[in-house]
Structure 1
Amino acid sequence: MPGATVIDHPLVQHKMTHMRMKDTSTQGFRRLLREISLLLCYEVTRDLKLVDTSIETPVSEMNAPVLAGKKLVFASILRAGNGLLEGMLELIPSARVAHIGLYRDPETLEAIEYYFKAPADMNERRIIVVDPMLATANSAIAAVERLKQRGANNMCFVCLLAAPEGVQRFNEAHPDVPIYTAAVDEKLNEKGYIVPGLGDAGDRMYGTK
């Protein structure tokens, strides 16, 4: 849909289907989430800048490309964001990490912050904000606003699953932050859950209710 880039790689879509299944175990859900996070990270980092550096192979010297600039920051919205974070760190282990602790008020559905920790030089780094679900977008909007207050000015938001309402609200609040997702579903229900969705990602990942 407009406002979100859907990563429709066949492996991503296949694994998403298995994550949606209600009978998928906690162990299986975590494994699939880690695998999808690698694929999503591969897609959202394809435009990273490169610079040539001189190296020596076993055969000869050459100029070869390496990533340019300061290391990335993965900003995880706790707690479910850590499921995406772990897989992405496997692909880019040198990345810095920010944590934003938010919980959703069950009555108002508003995001309430309880923890924030991030590198000091956010204005000099590219930040990839991760959270499996973009439902009401309240948490995502609040997290990105908090990162901007720290100086972040080069961000994207990555999720497994989004609702049209969440995409629209996020774009209205942060039109400068692109969204990448594996799927945009039908709608939100009266409790703010994505339909058909995959349930509560945090509960399914950690085996809680």
Structure 2
Amino acid sequence: MEVRVVQHPLVDHKLSLLRSKTTPQPNFRKLVDELVTLLAYEATFGVRVNEVDIETPITMTKGTRLANPAPLVVPILRAGLGMLDGMLRLVPTAEVGFLGMIRDEETLQPMTYAERLPQDLSGRQCYVLDPMLATGGSLGGAVQFLVDRGADDITCICLLAAPEGIEKLQGLLSDLKVPCSLVVAAVDEKLDENGYIVPGLGDAGDRLYGLAQ
């Protein structure tokens, strides 16, 4: 698995604001949206395209258009929803599927509790959105789910990743034999005893949407 850390002053600036515990929720949402668009630019470098003929006001020329089938964007519920608009801003013709993952507290394995995806993903290029790659359970389960349905190229976009999560994801992908890459704004130091990324930015889902009381 190729891991790409996007190094750009604007990425660093927005990520620093996201990390701050004093950043209010509306600002946090807006920053996630903006940061994902920057990450998506890097993540779509290998998006599939076709050469087409174009008639300009002057003459005929060659151009590029996204290939069919369209890229499939898959946010992992619920926090991945906060990344969706930022991704679609860059690739508005992409199709969108949804995947809900939860950990079985007995087996500790990821389980799918909701999904809205085509049954056959053969030949599809998928972009998975999940703010935090911590233990790797949810993202790994999502990748496995997509591969089982036939996806043949997967790019995961995360705001932050922990080394432990990257290692787990790499282990899974070594068995799947499907091209996969991970695009992140930063790889942080470690996971703490509760599975939170350090220094991290807290619980992305709660900071995006709050806690329903």
TM-score (norm 1): 0.92
Mapped partners of 2:150, 2:105: distance in 1: 30
5+ residue gaps, structure 2: none
Within the alignment, does 1:98 sit opposite 2:97 as a pair?
A: yes
After superposition, residues 9-88 of structure 1 pair within 5 angstroms as 9-88=8-87
Relative to structure 1, the CA distance from residue 110 to residue 197 in structure 2 (aligned partners, 3 Å threshold; closer, same or farther) is farther
Relative to structure 1, the CA distance from residue 49 to residue 103 in structure 2 (aligned partners, 3 Å threshold; closer, same or farther) is closer
What is the CA-CA distance between 1:57 and the residue it aligns to? 2.2
After superposition, residues 1-209 of structure 1 pair within 5 angstroms as 4-104=3-103, 110-175=109-174, 176-208=179-211
Relative to structure 1, the CA distance from residue 119 to residue 164 in structure 2 (aligned partners, 3 Å threshold; closer, same or farther) is same
What is the CA-CA distance between 1:62 and the residue it aligns to? 2.4
8 Å Cα contact 1:130-1:158 kept in structure 2 = yes
Cα RMSD, aligned residues only: 1.9
User: Number of aligned pairs?
Assistant: 208
Mapped partners of 1:105, 1:29: distance in 2: 30
5+ residue gaps, structure 1: none
Deviations 1:12-47 (A, max 9, x none): 111000000000011001000000111111101112
Relative to structure 1, the CA distance from residue 100 to residue 49 in structure 2 (aligned partners, 3 Å threshold; closer, same or farther) is closer
Mapped partners of 2:183, 2:107: distance in 1: 26
Relative to structure 1, the CA distance from residue 185 to residue 6 in structure 2 (aligned partners, 3 Å threshold; closer, same or farther) is same
- Return 173-182 or 125-134, whichever deviates more: 173-182
8 Å Cα contact 2:2-2:180 kept in structure 1 = no
Amino acid at match of 1:22: K
TM-score (norm 2): 0.90
